[in-house]
Structure 1
Amino acid sequence: MARSIAFIAVLVASLAFVSDARAEGLVPYEITGNGIAHSLTGAPGDAARGRVLVLARATTCILCHSGPFPETRFQGDLAPDLTGAGNRWTVSQLRLRLVDASRFKPDTIMPSYYRADGLVRVGRNFVGKPVLSAAEIEDIVAYLATLWD
């Protein structure tokens, strides 16, 4: 329990350092089945930029997830290993997991990176804004889709 509370405190504090490149508002999207089929930006993301974002402590990905990142020490073990993410989930499913992971597991500790409503304990700088921009979501999706076993 103490580990979970400490983790959540680190997670919330880390979110304060995410890039201010967020869009002013949210791009509308449609959930179809268990994913979001269409890019939030209308174009595919850049996998190289996505890798940088996944490894950045500011996005908090590697606080919980481990993966094929030999240069990165202290990877998380609270969430699934990202190795093979591209063959476990479709691009559509990856996109929805980043946009709003609570659609899959209501009590998840994974932040909803592209939501601005219905959230609790939101820092002043994030009220009414997503944590990641649509372009950042697409970049991370593009990178995760390249991770095959």
Structure 2
Amino acid sequence: MRTLTTTAIAVLATTVAVTAAEVAPKEVKFDEYGSVETSLTGTPGDPENGAVIMKTKSMGNCISCHQVTALEDAPFHGEIGPMLDGAGDRWTEADLRGIVSNAKKTFPGTMMPAYYKVDGYIRPGDAFTGKAAEEPLPPLLSGQQVEDVVAFLMTLKEE
């Protein structure tokens, strides 16, 4: 009985580790419209953390381009991108995951940065050196941070 219990615990721990493993940026599977059906981490996103990421300059800084009424406590909302109020009704979770990961897969001409991409850039700078950075570069957001932003965007419903 003890061996069966130990084996069951080991299998469960392995299953949890595999499902919670983060999908590498190069391994993300976009469909023909740029959607990403599968979670990048296997862990549900935290909408509260997603809101923090969206309004923090050193993270997503989404509000520098988008207006979001739910984040009115943060100053200086931009007007370059579309207003995100109602985003959870306009797009599916898979659509939003794809847009946040790499919006160019859905909107080829967009100025929106690819938050979960590590290569294929056109001459990104290496900090403030004026030299081109070596690829692969780290993604702007982790897979869990992308999931958190998506979870927050899914809360933005039409009234």
What TM-score range do you get, normalising by the shorter chain? 0.7 to 0.9
Deviation larger for 29-38 or 50-59: 29-38
Q: CA deviation at 1:124?
A: 2.8
Gapped regions of structure 1 (runs ≥ 5): 1-22
Aligned mates of 2:93, 2:85 — CA distance in 1: 15
- Quote the residue 2:139 is aligned against: 130
Q: TM-score, normalised by structure 1?
A: 0.77
Unaligned 5+ segments in structure 2 are 1-21, 128-132
Give the match for residue 31 of structure 2.
32
Q: Percent identity?
A: 37
The 2-side partners of 1:57 and 1:140 are apart by 14
Higher-RCO chain (CA-CA 8 Å, sequence separation at least 6): 1
Instruction: Answer yes or no: is the 8 Å Cα contact 2:26–2:118 preserved in 1.
Output: no
Is 1:51 the counterpart of 2:60? The answer is no
* TM-fit CA distance, 1:101: 0.6
- Cross-structure match for 1:20: none
Pair 27,118 (structure 1): closer, same or farther in 2 beyond 3 Å: closer
After superposition, the C-alpha distances for 1:81-123 in whole angstroms (9 at most, x for unaligned) are 1111100100000000011111122221100111111112323
Q: 1:5: which partner in 2? A: none
Q: Which residue of 2 aligns with 1:65?
A: 66
TM-score for the superposition, normalised by structure 2 = 0.73
- Residue identity matched to 1:82: L
- Which contiguous aligned blocks of 4+ residues in structure 1 show a shift greater than 3 angstroms? none
Question: Radius of gyration: which is bigger?
Answer: 2
Among residues 83, 87, 105, which one is paired with 1:103 in the alignment?
A: 105
